[in-house]
Amino acid sequence: SQQGEEDPQALSIQEGENATMNCSYKTSINNLQWYRQNSGRGLVHLILIRSNEREKHSGRLRVTLDTSKKSSSLLITASRAADTASYFCATRLYGNNRLAFGKGNQVVVIP
């Protein structure tokens, strides 16, 4: 099964800065989703972008999708200490209700 792979895997930034994470995948997808996980707890859905969309915004989040390069990026603007977490991209294939997750990006926002 395909898997998203995030780059970079660990990011440390100052509060107020922007954080950018990238994700690549291998086959055609139905949609791509980003999730957040705090300290080994459950994952929380952040944003979904469909294969026919190129950019989407939700609050301080901006996600882009380039299907020709099979890659996506997640931008968190004006980061806060509370944004400290692991961020995962996950891809959903057509006709398939399962998600394939990447290894995750650990983001630390320093107050």
Partner 1 sequence: ETGVTQSPTHLIKTRGQQVTLRCSSQSGHNTVSWYQQALGQGPQFIFQYYREEENGRGNFPPRFSGLQFPNYSSELNVNALELDDSALYLCASSLGEGRGNTGELFFGEGSRLTVL
Give contact residues for partner 1 (rule: CB under 8 A).
Answer: 1, 3-4, 30-31, 33, 35, 40-45, 48, 50, 88, 92, 96-104
Nearest distance from C-beta of residue 102 to partner 1, angstroms: 5
Nearer to partner 1 by Cβ, of 27 and 96: the residue is 96
Which residue bears the tokens 């994700």? 23
Among residues 15 and 48, whose Cβ is nearest to partner 1?
48
What amino acid is encoded at 82 in this protein? A
By beta-carbon proximity to partner 1, the closer residue of 18 and 38 is 38
CB of 78 to partner 1, least distance (A): 25
Q: What are 26's two structure tokens? A: 């291998």
> Which residue lies nearer to partner 1 by CB, 15 or 67?
67
Helices and strands: H and E segment counts in the chain: 0, 11
For residue 99, the minimal CB distance to partner 1 (Å) is 6
CB 5 within 8 A of CB 100: no
Examine residue 111 and say whether the peptide bond preceding it is cis (omega within 30 degrees of 0). no
Please choose, from the candidates 83, 73, 69, the residue with its C-alpha nearest in 3D space to the C-alpha of residue 8: 73
